[in-house]
């Protein structure tokens, strides 16, 4: 069973930036996505990168977040800029068609 490991979260002021990383026990050479879950809300996808390296983004993060991958390092990244309080959530990675196994996620808190 593939296990995803997310890292890079933290506390940042509005307007700040973070880079999240996702590694896994198996290959990440699939269409991969970043998802987030804010308190009291359902998990939602925010960014996807396909095996062709094409990407797409939720409207709420378009122009601020960038997803990328390094196949040699078996790592998927999420570069987040101009973070806002509404970006506060636990961030997860998984395949675009999610596996049932989710990682622990990494907490991103945007607050002054």
User: What are the pLDDT digits (tens) for 52-103?
Assistant: 999 999 999 999 999 999 999 999 999 999 999 999 999 999 999 998 999 9
Query: Percent of the chain, pLDDT > 90?
Result: 90
Looking at residue 1, what is its pLDDT? 81
Q: Which tens digits make up the pLDDT trace of 81-92?
A: 999 999 999 999
Which residues are CB-neighbours of 35 under 8 A, at least 6 positions away?
A: 43, 44, 45, 46, 91, 92, 93, 94, 98
Asked whether residue 20 carries a pLDDT value surpassing 90, the answer given is yes
As a whole number, the mean pLDDT across the chain is 96
88 close to 14: Cβ distance less than 8 angstroms: no
């Amino acid at each position: 069973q593939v296990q995803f490991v997310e890292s890079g979260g933290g506390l940042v002021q509005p307007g700040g930036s973070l880079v999240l990383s996702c590694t896994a026990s198996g290959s990440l050479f699939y269409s991969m996505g970043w998802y987030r879950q804010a308190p009291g809300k359902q998990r939602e996808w925010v960014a996807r990168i396909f095996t062709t390296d094409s990407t797409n983004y939720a409207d709420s993060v378009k122009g601020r977040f960038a997803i990328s991958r390094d196949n040699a390092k078996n790592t998927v990244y999420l570069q987040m800029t101009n973070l806002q309080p509404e970006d506060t959530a636990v961030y997860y990675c998984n395949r675009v068609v999610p596996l049932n196994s989710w990682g622990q996620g990494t907490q991103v808190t945007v607050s002054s």
